Chain A
């Protein structure tokens, strides 16, 4: 029996996750849920779009919830539909098809929209992007880029953040000449310091992507469709595909028009409730919690969990505390992780931060740990991420670091090559056969007792009768004993 009408605006990663979290807590379906999404179809994993573009992931692998899933779970889904107004007085949202949905609880998960840089010629008179230009955000954008890439001869990717790098790398992987243009001097400037950016630039170039850092775009050349870009220094780049990856900004227009408190995002408290309407919540990239917005999925999902717990009133009281940030680049041939305050430096004289660095330019490796109060405050692992599992967990848990920090970056090999060691070098108490606890001394004693080959030694000592993997070692001892016997006597 439905006693509460819950409307969710936005069916992206936060909105979809929120619905799943609610369903998991609302077994007797007290909530009647309606989801309004302006994209067609169900929810998909936006994070994987760059992998789809790169051909690393199949498009059918990214569906988080198809339209039939909503129906099967009694959730009403309005696809391709935008909310045009929130009427807080009446407690309803108005849709672009003229319909209105009453709510008891409203959750805004409107996400972000891509930032369009203020560049001459970028927008046509009708306010739309010219043919050949795509601001990359949605599955439809991904499909459009992939289609354009089939016939394109030169691609320019504007913006060298995570998405820009992944896009450029993905397009280059299809054999398309790609130039990555970045206004600032560093790649991934939020996640990397200057040294890391330099190493990454070399790696990216070696993968076939031209990189133009410190190059602003002054204008876009359009002739029916995009033809190229003009850089601040007057230089030009030909382009019949221009992908904009210039960051995102929270979609807050509805909230602002409805009179909700909005700074950069919709201001929410620790329960993800908007600051001036207890019936309205905001989660994901459109929400601003303690002065912070984010563009990552982990905090969005944590917010979805907390909001679902609060709204369904199930389980323990719960608060959103904010999450530390971990960024992993998904680009073939580039191993990169950046955690937390990765750009901090120990040369600012403050002395409160300790930095451990390792770099190996010939292998494209740059690793950096930022330590505060004996705990990891940030890290960069570039070119070698074998330690990323350990490092991320130490960071996530705020765990105390071992005193010898260097061992954090030194990863043991999974399979140390078998140490070839002369049996003469082994101490007598060294265990040769683990399964039966037979030492070298035991094998030697069997030899002294007259056992002259591995099978006789096995019969006498039971060595090799368990898993049998010590045969080689025993053969080695027998050979050594045989050789030594020809000369002088041996002792174990």
Chain B
């Protein structure tokens, strides 16, 4: 029976809008509530989110296939779990602990992310665990950590945006990806603030900008260095701040000297006048912010691109100054918390490094194991997926909270890798594209059916309260993890109650960069969320970081000199057009959820490619034609949508669909050397009309 009038948060993006769920004759209805991030706002995805609870597609029984070519058939939980445990034992007894891999997701609660990381290290003893946040946040996380000593998406609360004089928003289409966020930009502009948007597309966000820089895909780094060049040349840098609070400016100044406006214009396509206008708006502001999203980050030089933008922010004296700063807009619901508690290949809970002996000792004590039992760093997401079934690679995989068959780059190749596994187990609500190819599918509860904490894009830890009981036959992810740990005779405690897991997480994170020790479910409910770090019960939490010092050993932020380089795959005669990918307002991630909501499906029923009229003319394409978007890796067949909002040299595809229309059949898995982020945002394609 549903519990009436429960306060919770939306199941989708990192804004995690506050909402209420109320029982109306056996059906849960979404209502608004006044929460400090969304202030009563919701987008269509949020309003329709409860529809999924009663979806006829819901899995309510485990599915098992007897052998790879056999069909999936219903099975009991005991049978399914025993099969998973047996396959794990078999694989590990022959091929060793690393032969079993785990793949998590940025939508999992903190409790699940924590438990999954612990499960991999303690129950499986494998180093092979990573998650889809690698495809999302990793570049910004790496750049933030190397500049500030810690990565928290926004180191300041959202209301600070409303009073910023200038916001530089790079590669973010918040008007479609998190609409209620845009209210803060409206307030900011109503207060007389300027919004500068950098985007190759004239998105709804770009259309509201004071200044839109319609940059060439893959050249944000050069643009950032160019803006810094102008700031230095025109004497706008904050020398006292640089002297007191940073290190390494000399090298960055030298690098920036080579990015004069005319050179940058030729690389980026952004005119000298536009560059100067952007710098004037930033430098003339008393409070200014530089914000990045996937458009800047999902590149094979995403980390360096973010570093270039952080350099600009530091030179202007923004980070750690109240009302100003650099921030990254996290994408996935728990993209922030999901990267802090140990489901990342190189990390332990509390945003600790897995190769740090002190971190290993602390976490091992909480887990009740010998530190030596904790494996070292493993493969990053794409490297892990690309190694599946290869010699020396994992032969069995457990997936939780991710649809890798659709969301990984060059997904045709990843589909073949999944097919070459000895064993694949997937936990999901629906028979996603990935689940459909699994040997065992475990039906799990969804957001409103279990409690748990999420950490939103501000670093505010939130509580989702259970509003309904799961349908019969469905278990929670935590129950699955605990049951498997038991079957595998894992040492330590394996609790399936979210609050008990959270208490363990608090202890594991204590003393780490992302310290949750002082956060409790009661405090979250009473205080509209608590910002980490919060090391003690009487600590107020930290809405604004870095006001006194950065989290580096010497307390100074670090400039990192970075150089522009070409995209991993540039245009040529055979593939003369850039493809960039992104999201639509109505859909979320691989579409497993939103494609099953009627209103959303009807609004955007099938995938399209957006084509500029000049390019359409050159390719002899008309609105609504079927076209193949072809790259060196594969082709996707979609409908043509003609629009002047894209550049004539660039087409845009949303990535919410699987099958033969999946954008990621085409994208390039070239990885960032630091973050291992694939280059989702630009590759070379051609368009072929389908007869």
User: Which residues of chain A have a CB within 8 Å of any CB of chain B?
Assistant: 17, 44-45, 47-48, 51, 56-58, 60-66, 69, 297-298, 326, 328, 330, 335, 385-386, 388-390, 392-393, 396-397, 399-400, 402-404, 407, 412, 414-415, 434-437, 462, 465-469
Contact = CB atoms under 8 A, between A and B. Distances in A.
B254 A437 contact: no
Nearest to A64: B257
A468 B185 CA distance: 11
Given A402-B618, A435-B43, A465-B42, A45 B258 contact: yes
B257 A62 contact: yes
B209 interface: yes
Given A385-B271, A402-B617, A434-B175, A58 B232 contact: yes
Nearest to B612: A402
Contacts of A66: 250, 254
Interface in B188-239: 204, 207-212, 214, 216, 229, 232-235
Given A61-B232, A437-B586, A465-B32, A403 B262 contact: no
Given A45-B257, A399-B649, A467 B265 contact: no
27 contacts: A48-B233, A58-B234, A61-B232, A61-B233, A63-B253, A63-B257, A65-B254, A66-B254, A298-B263, A326-B266, A335-B273, A389-B216, A390-B269, A390-B648, A392-B265, A393-B649, A402-B648, A403-B618, A407-B614, A412-B644, A414-B209, A434-B175, A434-B176, A434-B179, A466-B41, A468-B182, A469-B186
A437 B179 contact: no
Contacts of A389: 214, 216, 265, 268-271
Contacts of B208: 469
A326 B263 CA distance: 10
B179 A466 contact: yes
A-B pairs, 5 with minimum CB distance:
A389-B269, A466-B179, A467-B182, A57-B233, A402-B614
B44 interface: yes
A328 B204 contact: no
Contacts of B209: 414-415
Given A56-B234, A58-B233, A466-B180, A385 B273 contact: yes
A404 B234 CA distance: 40
A57 B231 CA distance: 10
B599 interface: yes
Chain A CB within 10 A, most for which of B180, B216, B260:
B260
A399 B272 CA distance: 22
B77 interface: no
Contacts of A61: 229, 232-233, 253, 256-257
Nearest to A57: B233
Chain B CB within 10 A, most for which of A62, A397, A399, A468:
A468
Interface of B: 32, 40-44, 47, 175-176, 179-183, 186, 204, 207-212, 214, 216, 229, 232-235, 250, 253-254, 256-258, 260, 262-263, 265-266, 268-273, 571, 576, 585-586, 599, 603, 614, 617-618, 644, 648-649
Given A63-B257, A389-B271, A462-B44, 10 more contacts: A45-B260, A397-B649, A399-B576, A415-B207, A415-B212, A434-B176, A437-B586, A465-B40, A466-B44, A467-B179
B614 A328 contact: no
A71 to B, nearest CB: 13
B474 to A, nearest CB: 29
B440 to A, nearest CB: 38
B247 to A, nearest CB: 15
B179 A435 contact: yes
Nearest to B47: A462
B496 to A, nearest CB: 36
Given A328-B272, A389-B271, A436 B44 contact: yes
Nearest to A385: B271
B257 A437 contact: no
B32 A69 contact: no
A297 B172 CA distance: 34
A386 B207 contact: no
A434 B209 CA distance: 17
A223 B571 CA distance: 61
Contact of B269 (A48, A393, A414): A393
Chain B CB within 10 A, most for which of A47, A385, A389, A399:
A389
Contacts of A57: 233-234
Nearest to A65: B254
B260 A48 contact: yes
A386 B644 contact: no
Contacts of B207: 415
A285 to B, nearest CB: 17
A324 to B, nearest CB: 11
A436 B232 CA distance: 44
Contacts of B183: 467-468
A397 B269 CA distance: 12
Contacts of A330: 262
A69 B257 CA distance: 14
A399 B32 CA distance: 51
A419 to B, nearest CB: 12
Given A48-B260, A468-B41, A388 B617 contact: no
A51 B266 contact: no
Contacts of A407: 614
A297 B264 CA distance: 13
A392 B618 contact: no
A387 B639 CA distance: 30
Contacts of B571: 397
A437 B266 contact: no
Nearest to B202: A412
Chain A CB within 10 A, most for which of B176, B254, B586, B603:
B254
Nearest to A51: B233
Contacts of A388: 265, 271-272
Contacts of A469: 182, 186, 208
Contacts of B232: 58, 60-61
A396 B214 CA distance: 18
Nearest to A389: B269
A335 B571 CA distance: 29
A404 B229 CA distance: 37
A289 B190 CA distance: 57
B616 to A, nearest CB: 10
A466 B43 contact: yes
B275 to A, nearest CB: 10
A270 B260 CA distance: 28
Contacts of B649: 393, 397, 399
Contact of A436 (B47, B229, B250, B273): B47
A468 B43 CA distance: 10
Contacts of B265: 328, 388-389, 392
A434 B43 CA distance: 9
A467 B180 contact: yes
Given A58-B235, A63-B253, A298 B585 contact: no
